[in-house]
Amino acid sequence: MPGSPTDDAADRVRRAYEKTQSLDIAEVPASGEELADLARNWQADELPGLQRTIADLQLANLAQGIVDPVFAALATALKAVDLPSFSLLDAACATGYYGEVIHSLDPRDIAYSGCDYSLAMIESARAYYPDVPFSVQDLTALTHPDRSFDVVLLSGVLEHIPDYRRAIERSSRVADRYLIVHRCPTTSGPTHERTIGTQYNIRTPRTFFSLGLLKSEFSDTGFELVKSVEVYPRPGGWRRRLRRMAGRRLKGREQRGTLTLVFRRREASGRP
């Protein structure tokens, strides 16, 4: 039976993604020192081209009204930002394509800017979007002034940073009202699972965050969780029943997921 246009679009993205995974080796648990050795791997020159292959397909789908689940999750999360217009720093923006996504899915006046610690990514972002302000910045050492953006977006990045706590501290300093941790890998367990995985052609740190622990780490920097969105919503019907059965078998074991989390500065709740 032929699939729907949405299934075909998702398949095209999945197949393109699989093609770019030239270093697909098994994930292993890792110590802090082992992760630290990989901290700079995302600065490789080939990554902007590889990442953009996928983003271009997702953007082409979006132009036809087919919204990737990962974009839909961000659009839902943005609804929790209780501001009529705002500035947003995409603090690991890669080639800057989330600017297009946000402007296409949220009608508000959103002043988008981006930064990334990879010069290659930022050069590519500037070539695609010459009118957008971009800068080279490491999330663990952001130089932006205190509270200089209404919203700071951390999309697909915290899990790749060995010293993610420093990244939380620095981005909390720069965010005036909200921090959005988009497509965050999570575990139902009580502690973070720290691993080394692969993406594209690199080995990369990959942390699966315990939601309870992550919430307390954001609370330490003055932010509270106000919304959590499942990036890949649960299937209905027989798929749901199968998942429930698998869930029963997995009972007692940690389960992983992908969430988009909106944190609000605690004092912000009483502000106009």
**Positions in the binding site for ligand SAM (CB under 6 A):** 42, 92-94, 116-118, 121, 138-140, 155-157, 160-161
How open is the CA angle 43-60-154, to the nearest 5 degrees?
A: 40
If the CB atoms of residues 99 and 156 are measured against ligand SAM, the closer one turns out to be 156
Which CB sits closer to ligand SAM, 121 or 231? 121
Nearer to ligand SAM, 199 or 268 (CB): 199
Residue 216: which residues within 8 A CB-CB, separation 6 or more?
A: none
Cα separation, 245 vs 248, whole angstroms:
5
Least distance CB 116 / ligand SAM (angstroms): 5
Count of Cβ atoms closer than 10 Å to residue 32 Cβ: 10
Least distance (Å) between residue 20 CB and ligand SAM: 12
3-state secondary structure of 22: coil
Nearer to ligand SAM, 138 or 193 (CB): 138
Q: How far apart are CA 58 and CA 258, in angstroms?
A: 18
Q: Give the nearest distance from C-beta 156 to ligand SAM in angstroms.
A: 4
Least distance in Å: CB of 252 to ligand SAM?
Answer: 31
Tell me if 81 sits within 8 A of 6, measured CB to CB. no
